[in-house]
Amino acid sequence: MLGALAVACLTVALLTGCSTEDAICGGGEYPVLAVGSTGRACAPNGQEPPAGYVRFPQGKVPEHVSDEWDTYWNTHTVDHNGKIVEVPGAG
């Protein structure tokens, strides 16, 4: 029974292009980064980030929990000048 369920879930993921990993944001949202810290949120597609947040730099957007960029942004942020910097004591 469990084997059949696993195969069914995998088949759905492959057919729909979905990942079995947890997404950073839900459908219709994109991840945003708090300026000067490692804080994050999700913003609705088509809207600008909330005050105090910015979009992740192109090509460095976390998509799934614990992926390369999710891990990277646990110790880095964007400063008030838009520069990527390490966060002291983070991680």
Q: What is the pTM of this model?
A: 0.75
- Convert the pLDDT of each residue in 38-70 to its tens digit: 999 999 999 999 999 999 999 999 999 999 999
Closest CA to 64 of 18, 14, 33: 18
Q: In the sheet where 40-44 sits, what is the strand order?
A: 40-44, 29-34, 53-55
Is 5 among the domain residues? no
Q: How many domains does the chain have?
A: 1
- The parent domain of residue 31 ranges over 20-86
* Residue whose pair of structure tokens reads 């600008």 in the numeric block: 48
Query: Looking at the predicted structure, is the pLDDT value of residue 6 above 80?
Result: no
Is 8 among the domain residues? no
Counting Cβ atoms within 10 Å, is residue 51 exposed (0-12), middle (13-18) or buried (19+)?
A: exposed
Contact of 73 with 38, CB cutoff 8 Å: yes
